[in-house]
Amino acid sequence: MAGDPDAFGVLFGRHRERLWAVAIRTLGDPEEAADALQDAMISAFRRAGGFRGDSAVTTWLHRIVVNACLDRLRRRAARPATAGADQQVLEILAADGGQRDPSADSDTSLDVLAALRTLPPEQQAALVLVDMLGYGVADAAQVLGVSVGTVKSRCSRGRVRLLPHLAHLRNRTAAPHVQSSQEGGSDQP
């Protein structure tokens, strides 16, 4: 491929929806997701010479996109949340609505995204790949560049942290008492 523009354009076309799915879930803001994706694609383009083989390329592209998103999440942690982002997602969801009941689905999706935002970036990325997008733990480990065990533990800790935020979505009538070990602390007897 070696940075051949046509091949790269095709590559982007082939993967763009999957990569977008990762970026929009990780960042929650369409504009920022597009920026991250763009950074990632330019970066991939510049380094494309070193990669061969379709399966490797898929993982590699995912990794670059995830890293671009994580960079932004970490930077974002240093500044206040952008209030308009969720509203933007909501508008797009509404415009995209079609047959769905936009209010119910959008509300739930926004709640989930908002809860996800409370997690450390690494846990967010793991949950986006494994729980939201259904990537295998081994694939996610490759994309994230960490061990399978690390992916599992990030997912577990992330779910535990999400639980208090999202329990009402599963069971709106009787929210279960959840004894959560807060702040991702270590296992307590």
Residues that bind another protein (CB under 8 A): 3, 5-6, 8-9, 12, 16-17, 20-21, 24-25, 30-35, 37-39, 41-43, 45-46, 84, 88-89, 92-93, 96, 100, 105-106, 108-109, 112-113, 116, 127, 130-134, 152-153, 155-157, 159-160, 162-163, 166-167, 169-171, 176-181, 185, 187-189
Taking the least distance from each CB to another protein, the nearer of 50 and 134 is: 134
**What b-and-e string marks burial along 125-155, b requiring 16 or more CB atoms within 10 Å of the CB?**
bbbbbbbbeebebebbbbbbebeeebbeebb
| Least distance from another protein to the Cβ atom of residue 182, Å | 9
How close are the terminal C-alpha atoms of the chain, in Å? 54
| Least distance from another protein to the Cβ atom of residue 123, Å | 12
| Least distance from another protein to the Cβ atom of residue 32, Å | 7
| Least distance from another protein to the Cβ atom of residue 102, Å | 9
Burial class of residue 48 (count of CB atoms within 10 Å of its CB; 0-12, 13-18, 19+): buried
Report the helix count and the strand count for the chain, using DSSP H and E.
8, 0
Query: Do 114 and 86 touch, CB atoms closer than 8 A?
Result: yes
Residue 22 vs residues 7, 87, 133: alpha-carbon distances, Å: 22, 19, 8
Taking the least distance from each CB to another protein, the nearer of 39 and 51 is: 39
| Least distance from another protein to the Cβ atom of residue 19, Å | 9
